[in-house]
Structure 1
Amino acid sequence: MHRYISLATLLLIFLVAGSAAAEPYFSPERTEPVENIRTTTLLTGLEHPWAMAWLPDGGLLITERTGRVRLLKEGELSTIPGAPEPLVYGQGGLLDIALHPDFEENRLVYFTLSTGTESANHTALARARYDGKRFVDAEVLFTASPAKSGGQHFGSRMAWLPDKTLVLSVGDGGNPPQRVDGMLAREQAQNPASHQGKLLHLKDDGSPAEPPAFAAQSAAPGLYTMGHRNIQGMAYDSLRGTLWVSEHAARTGDEINRIEPGRNYGWPKASWSKEYTLPMDVADHHSLPGMVDPVVVWKWRFAPSGLLVYTGDAFPSLKGNLIAGGLRSETIRFIELDGNGTVLGDRNLNMGHRVRDIRQGPDGLIYVLTDEDDGRLIRLEPR
C-alpha cells in the first residue's frame, strides 16, 4: 500500500480547502417584470410613513416618521394619541411597529424610534398598551449604546421569533467623517462592545435574551450578530425557520443576508460597496474567512427597505419568495428561493415611488408604504 500522496491529489486537496465560498446572487439592474400584479392606491397624504401592523379587528396601524401613529379602519383614517415621543431628526423619528405575539391578551404594541438629542442620540425600543382609543403607559424598554451624533443610520427594524423574543437592528452610526467614541462610526460595526452596526436579541421586556449569542464578557448585552451597516428590512421565514435581513451599503453593494446567531457579516471589512465621495471600494475584500457572505448583492443603487417572505394564497407563484422594497430604485424585487433558501432568480415591479415597507395582509395581499411627504399606502393584487 502506498504511503505517499500524489502531487495531483495534494493539488486537489489544496484547491478544495482553499476555495472561496460561493459568490452571492448579483441582482441585475434590468430583469424580467413580475406579471399579473396590479397596484391600487388606498391612501395618500401620509407624512413619511415607515411601518405598519394589523390589529386583530382588521384595523391597520401606520407609523409616520414625524411621530404620529395613524389607524386605517373601515376606510377611515384617524390618529391614535399616546405613542412614545421620538427625536425627529434626519433619518430618525418614529420608525418600526409590531404587535406583541400575545397582543389579544396583553394589548401591547412595540415601537422602534430615535431618542436623545441631535448631538447624543440612540436607537431605542419602546412599548405601550393600546386600549382601543389611545396608547397608554408608553415606556422605553431598551436604548442602544454608545450615543452617537447626527441623523444617520438608526437601522430600526424588528422581528418576533417563534419563542416570543425579538430581534432589533441598530445602524452603524453614520458615514465618514462621522465618529463615535473617537473611531469612524462605521468601525463600530466590528466593535463587539458597541450596539451599533448589530442585530440585538431581546426579551419582550427589553432585557437581553438568553443564552447570549456572543459569550465574551466584553460583548454588548443582547448582541446577536455584528458587521452590519444599516438594516432596514427584516422578516422571519416561517417556511424555512430562518431570519432574513436587507441592509444598505454605501454607494452600491446593498445586501440580503441570512442570519445565523453569533456570526459576523463583514461590514466594513468585507463588502461589495463603494465610497460615496471617492472612486474606490469601501473594503479591501469582498469576502473574508470567519465572516458570512451575503445571499444577494445589488451592484447598482437599490437602497433596500422593507422585506417580506410571502406565505399567502393570493399569489400562489410567489409563495416562499423574498419580496424586497427599494427606496432609490423605486421598485420591488421578487426574489425566487428554493426550499433551502437558494436564490433562483428575481423579477421586478416598478412602483415609481420610494418603497419604505412591505407587509403581507391578513387577506394574503401585499401592502406597500412609500416614503415621501405625500406618502402612500398601496395594495398589490392579482391582475
Structure 2
Amino acid sequence: MSIRAILAPLLLAWLPLASCAPPGGPAPISGEVPEARGWRAETVVTGLEHPWSIAWLPDGTALITERPGRLRLVRDGRLDPVPIAGVPEVLVYGQGGLLDVAPHPRFAENQQVYLTFAQGTKDANRTALARGRLREGRLEDLQIIFRNADTKNDGQHFGSRLLWLPDGSLLMSIGDGGNPPIAHAGANIRNQAQHPSTHFGKVVRLSEDGQPLPDNPFLDQPGARPEIWTLGHRNIQGLTRDPRTGRVWATEHGARGGDELNLLVGGGNYGWPVVTYSMEYWGPKITDETSRPGMIDPRLVWVPSKAPSGLAFYSAERLPGWQGDLFSGALKFGQIRRIDLDGERVAGEEKLTIGARVRDVRQGPDGFLYVLTDEPNGRLLRIVPD
C-alpha cells in the first residue's frame, strides 16, 4: 500500500468538514475520525452509580449527581461516603432521575446549589429545577423554582443541562418529551418543540429565582411561554460557553442519525422536528428537509449518531494545543469528540476513546478535563497529557 493511500483517510478527517456537506443541506456531516494523540485518562474516583453531572465549588470540592437521586461530594480526590442530604424527591424512570448540578456564581456568598431532575409519576412527569443552600452536608431551604408547565407519560427526553451566563441569568434545556407514539395535544409530542406555548424542546432563560427575564425574546408573543430563549430542539444534553467570545454551544440527540452541534442565539429556531437529518427508529426519514429559511442550521451533524452528552469548552493551558476546542461526550461509542473550532466553524474533529459511556465532560479548576462514565460502577476520570 502506498504512503498516499495510508495518509488519505487521516488527511480527509481534518479537511474543513463543510466540504463534506451533502447537497440536501449546508450542515457538515461527521463520520469516522482519527484518534487524538498525546493524552491519557487517569482514574480519580470509582463507585459512582450512573453519575450524570459534575461541578466545582470555589474551594475545589466537586459535586456529582447520581441519576438514582444522590448528590455526592469529592474532596481532595476522595469520594465522601455519605451523600448530601435534603435533595429533592426524584422520579427514577427511563432517562429520568437526578440530572444536572450548577452552583450559583456567587456560591461563596449564598451557598446556593441548583439541581435539575425528573419529577412526578411514570404517567405524568416533567423536568424541574430546584435550589437549596449547601450547609454541613445538607441542602437547606430547598425550593422548586421552575418546572415544565406540562407533563408527559413516558421516561424519555428530560434534557436537562444548566449554564450560567455573565448577566446572572440561567439557561436550562428541556427535551421534546419523547418519540412516537408519545403524544401531547392530540399529536406526536415532539411536534411541541415548534410550539412556543409549551416548554417541550426548548432552552429557557431564567433569573436566579426561576422567573422569566424581561428581555427574553418571546416575552411579548401572545400565547408563548415567557421563559423561552430558543426552540426547535430534540434533547439537549450538552451546553457550554466560550468565555472569550460569549458564544453558547449545545449538543443534542437526533433520532437515528442527526445528532447536532448548535451555536445558540436567543430567539433562534433550530428546526426540530420539521428540519432534521434524523430517521425514524423503524426506518424512514422524519422529513426530507434538512434546512429551511428562518431556521438555524447546525454547525455539525453526526451520522451515525454518537448520542452526545456533556459538552465542555476548553480554555486552560494544561492540555497544549487544545485551547479553544469543544469536547463532546459520546454515550454510544464510549468516547469524547474533540471539535476543532475556527471561530464559528468546525475545522476538524478527533476522538478520545474512553471505553465506556461518557455522560459528562467538564474543565476542572486545575485546568484538566474531567469525565464521568455512565456505569453502575461509574468513574470520574481526569484527562492529562501523555
Say whether the fold is shared (TM-score over 0.5): yes
Secondary structure of the residue aligned to 2:321 is helix
Measure, in 1, the Cα distance between the counterparts of 2:57 and 2:268. Answer: 34
Secondary structure of the residue aligned to 2:44 is strand
Residue of 155, 162, 165 corresponding to 2:166:
162
TM-score, length basis structure 2: 0.91
Measure, in 1, the Cα distance between the counterparts of 2:317 and 2:346. Answer: 21
On the 8 A contact 1:65/1:93 being kept in 2, the answer is yes
Residue of 46, 60, 64 corresponding to 2:66:
64
Secondary structure of the residue aligned to 1:189 is helix
Residues 292-325 of structure 1 show CA distances to partners (whole Å, capped at 9, x for unaligned) of 0000100112000000110011013110101100
Measure, in 1, the Cα distance between the counterparts of 2:274 and 2:186. Answer: 18
Measure, in 1, the Cα distance between the counterparts of 2:172 and 2:76. Answer: 31
Tell me the residue number matched to 1:46: 48
Tell me the residue number matched to 1:237: 242
Return 66-75 or 97-106, whichever deviates more: 66-75
- 1:328 matches 2:332: yes
TM-score, length basis structure 1: 0.92
Structure 1 residue 28 displacement after superposition: 2.0
Residues 110-142 of structure 1 show CA distances to partners (whole Å, capped at 9, x for unaligned) of 000111111111101111101132111111000
Aligned pairs for 1:149-298 (under 5 A) are 149-214=153-218, 215-277=220-282, 279-298=283-302
Measure, in 1, the Cα distance between the counterparts of 2:60 and 2:175. Answer: 32
The residue type equivalent to 2:39 in the other structure is I
Secondary structure of the residue aligned to 2:337 is strand
Measure, in 1, the Cα distance between the counterparts of 2:142 and 2:186. Answer: 34
Inter-CA distance 150–22: structure 2 relative to 1 (3 Å threshold): closer
Measure, in 2, the Cα distance between the counterparts of 1:25 and 1:331. Answer: 20
- 1:366 matches 2:369: yes
Q: Tell me, which stretches of 5 or more residues in structure 1 are unaligned?
A: 1-19
Inter-CA distance 206–21: structure 2 relative to 1 (3 Å threshold): farther
Secondary structure of the residue aligned to 2:136 is coil
On the 8 A contact 2:254/2:305 being kept in 1, the answer is no
Aligned pairs for 1:83-94 (under 5 A) are 83-94=87-98
Residues 43-102 of structure 1 show CA distances to partners (whole Å, capped at 9, x for unaligned) of 222111000111112111100000001111123322111112211111011100001011
- 1:26 matches 2:24: no
On the 8 A contact 2:364/2:370 being kept in 1, the answer is yes
Secondary structure of the residue aligned to 1:316 is coil
Aligned pairs for 1:340-359 (under 5 A) are 340-359=343-362
Secondary structure of the residue aligned to 1:63 is strand
Secondary structure of the residue aligned to 1:332 is strand
Q: Tell me, which stretches of 5 or more residues in structure 2 are unaligned?
A: 1-22
Measure, in 2, the Cα distance between the counterparts of 1:291 and 1:270. Answer: 8
Measure, in 2, the Cα distance between the counterparts of 1:24 and 1:313. Answer: 31
Measure, in 2, the Cα distance between the counterparts of 1:129 and 1:349. Answer: 37
Secondary structure of the residue aligned to 1:290 is coil
Question: Identity of counterpart residues, as a percentage?
Answer: 50
- 1:375 matches 2:378: yes
Tell me the residue number matched to 1:36: 38
Measure, in 1, the Cα distance between the counterparts of 2:77 and 2:299. Answer: 39
The residue type equivalent to 1:177 in the other structure is P
On the 8 A contact 2:61/2:76 being kept in 1, the answer is yes
The residue type equivalent to 1:67 in the other structure is G
Residues 240-284 of structure 1 show CA distances to partners (whole Å, capped at 9, x for unaligned) of 21110000010111000000111110000000111101x211112
Tell me the residue number matched to 1:17: none
Would you say how many aligned residue pairs link Structure 1 and Structure 2? 361
On the 8 A contact 1:239/1:320 being kept in 2, the answer is no
Cα RMSD for the two superposed structures = 1.3
Residues 193-220 of structure 1 show CA distances to partners (whole Å, capped at 9, x for unaligned) of 0000001010010001121212312111
Consecutive aligned runs of 4 or more in structure 1 exceeding 3 Å deviation: none
Aligned pairs for 1:293-304 (under 5 A) are 293-304=297-308
On the 8 A contact 1:301/1:329 being kept in 2, the answer is no
On the 8 A contact 1:240/1:341 being kept in 2, the answer is no
Structure 1 residue 238 displacement after superposition: 1.1
Secondary structure of the residue aligned to 1:318 is coil
Structure 1 residue 21 displacement after superposition: 11
